[in-house]
Amino acid sequence: MKLGIARERREGERRVAATPETVKQLAGLGLEVLVESRAGVSAGHADDEYREAGAQIVADIDPALLDILAHVRPLELPTATALKRGAVTVGLASPSSELATVRVLAERGVTSFALELVPRISRAQSMDALSSQALVAGYRCVLEAAIRLPRFFPLYMTAAGTVPPARVLVLGVGVAGLQAIGTAKRLGARVSANDIRPSSAEEVTSMGGTFIKLDLETAEAAGGYARELSADRGALQRQLLAPHVAGSDVLITTAAVPGRHAPLLVTREMVQGMRPGSVVVDLAAESGGNVEGSVPGRDVHVPTADGKGTVTVVGLKDAPSAMPTDASRLYAKNVANLLALMTRDGTVVPDFDDDVIAGACLTHDGVVRHPPTAEALAALTGENAPGDARADASADAPGDTPGDTADETGTAGETDNDLADELAKGPVKASENEGVV
């Protein structure tokens, strides 16, 4: 079977769905790997490296000739339309915000796998793209803050005097949040963190941080993940967080929920209460922002309440793409491992009795197999989704496995992998790289 690795064309995307290392793995499965010329250049991989690994380099990838297509960003409509019936796709699909593409994939008879839907179970960890990319994002956001902060992160004791360490506050203790805590600690900062899940306190401590316990009701859902706070509880949360925000030199927020506007954790008034020169990094800026006034891809300077300076609010955009080499290394392994699970004697044959395969499948044989997405399509069009088989899909694709987002913070809302809560309210505008950051 022919497996295509196309060059990502969305602006700002520098990752690639396969590396020379994973090409060897895929070729070893008996797949014929075609890599579009310069597909891996931005991630540090030249065409010759892919060729040496066993891939065929082609000038352009023609989706109509492929049996399998691996991708990073959600497929664009022209690509989805060009795929032949029975083709298989593997990549991030952002189903709640790409409903038109999902409909086309179903109508074309394409078997598509969305890495956002991979179940959160031990056996599927090596295929968990949300966590692997959140790892990159959590690391990157600390570096972005350190570059902008006009002072040191670590403690310095010199003949000229003592420089105290920077104080970093992380809101959300999911994969990205934990990585942010660890990175800030390694840079020498004094780190504290908050999460509405009591179980996260131990995780914060294990990373060397101090857990901030608020006088707030527990909001922990099944599997140890958080549920969204009510409006009045969210307001109380912000009130209780305000003095901790004001006392921080760096604030990092990580709450991003696929298919929905990111929860508001920090108001403009809270930002203005910080000291001049402080830095705020909003990892969820692309999906609406956890910080009031953040703008994706831009630095916004907010005057402090005392009028003595400004606070820099960084709306982080394309965080994993800012570190394309290692982000691609991890992502490509996620893709290759999922394909390896489905490949027998050089042929990709999904076994829908396997919970991992069934859970990750978005469309198959003309049917939208992911029930929440099928419901969203029906709500959008006022008719049944392609295949009208949501009942069957429910049996094949368990959608109650909780999962992370670009970081699955427990601060003001946590996503479930099935997107059920999000999509039950109807389709909404979401971040372009939903669940990736």
The percent of residues in the chain predicted with pLDDT above 70, rounded, is 83
Give me the amino acid identity at 39. A
pLDDT band for position 16 (cuts 50, 70, 90)? very high
Average pLDDT for 396-414: 39
Spatial distance between the Cα atoms of 75 and 106, rounded to a whole number of angstroms? 13
pLDDT for 377 equals 92
Q: Computed over its alpha carbons, how large is the radius of gyration of the chain?
A: 22
Task: Give the containing element (helix H, strand E) for 27.
Answer: helix 20-28
Segment 416-431, tens digit of pLDDT: 333 333 333 333 333 3
CA distances from 178 to 10, 109, 202, 210, 237 (A): 29, 40, 11, 12, 20
pLDDT for 422 equals 37
- 3-state SS assignment for residue 301: strand
Contact (Cβ atoms closer than 8 angstroms) between residue 394 and residue 371 = yes
Among 50, 139, 225, 331, which one carries the catalytic annotation? 225
Q: Label the pairing between strands 347-348 and 343-344.
A: antiparallel
Q: Which residue has the tokens 């967080």?
A: 241
Segment 68-95, tens digit of pLDDT: 999 999 999 999 999 999 999 999 999 9
Segment 366-395, tens digit of pLDDT: 999 999 999 999 988 776 556 544 444 444
User: Cα 244 to chain center, whole Å?
Assistant: 27
Active site residue 131: yes
Active site residue 167: no
Spatial distance between the Cα atoms of 330 and 333, rounded to a whole number of angstroms? 5
Spatial distance between the Cα atoms of 112 and 93, rounded to a whole number of angstroms? 9
pLDDT averaged over every residue in the chain: 87
pLDDT band for position 145 (cuts 50, 70, 90)? very high
Spatial distance between the Cα atoms of 266 and 289, rounded to a whole number of angstroms? 9
Active site residue 225: yes
Average pLDDT for 278-295: 95
- 3-state SS assignment for residue 133: helix
Cα 85–Cα 375–Cα 233 angle in degrees, nearest 5: 135
Among 25, 97, 131, 431, which one carries the catalytic annotation? 131
pLDDT for 423 equals 37
Dihedral sign for Cα 309, 149, 240, 267, please: positive
Tokens standing for residue 362: 């978005």
Dihedral sign for Cα 201, 205, 207, 209, please: positive
Give me the amino acid identity at 198. P
Active site residue 272: no
Contacts of 419 (CB under 8 A, 6+ apart): 95, 96, 116, 258, 259, 372, 373, 399
Spatial distance between the Cα atoms of 329 and 20, rounded to a whole number of angstroms? 9
Segment 210-251, tens digit of pLDDT: 999 987 765 554 444 445 666 777 788 899 999 999 999 999
pLDDT for 217 equals 63
* pLDDT surpasses 80 at 274: yes
Cα 322–Cα 435–Cα 113 angle in degrees, nearest 5: 110
Among 56, 125, 206, 230, which one carries the catalytic annotation? 125
Average pLDDT for 311-326: 96
List phi, psi (to 5°) of 303. Answer: -60, 140
Spatial distance between the Cα atoms of 405 and 424, rounded to a whole number of angstroms? 18
pLDDT band for position 96 (cuts 50, 70, 90)? confident
Contact (Cβ atoms closer than 8 angstroms) between residue 261 and residue 413 = no
Among 15, 73, 108, 120, which one carries the catalytic annotation? 120
Contacts of 106 (CB under 8 A, 6+ apart): 363, 366, 367, 368, 385, 386, 387
Cα 224–Cα 369–Cα 228 angle in degrees, nearest 5: 30
pLDDT band for position 259 (cuts 50, 70, 90)? low
- Nearest Cα residue to 140 out of 390, 373, 437, 398: 437
Average pLDDT for 404-415: 39
Active site residue 120: yes
pLDDT for 394 equals 40
* pLDDT surpasses 70 at 209: yes
Segment 331-376, tens digit of pLDDT: 999 999 999 999 999 999 999 999 999 999 999 999 999 999 999 9
Longest Cα–Cα distance in the chain: 75
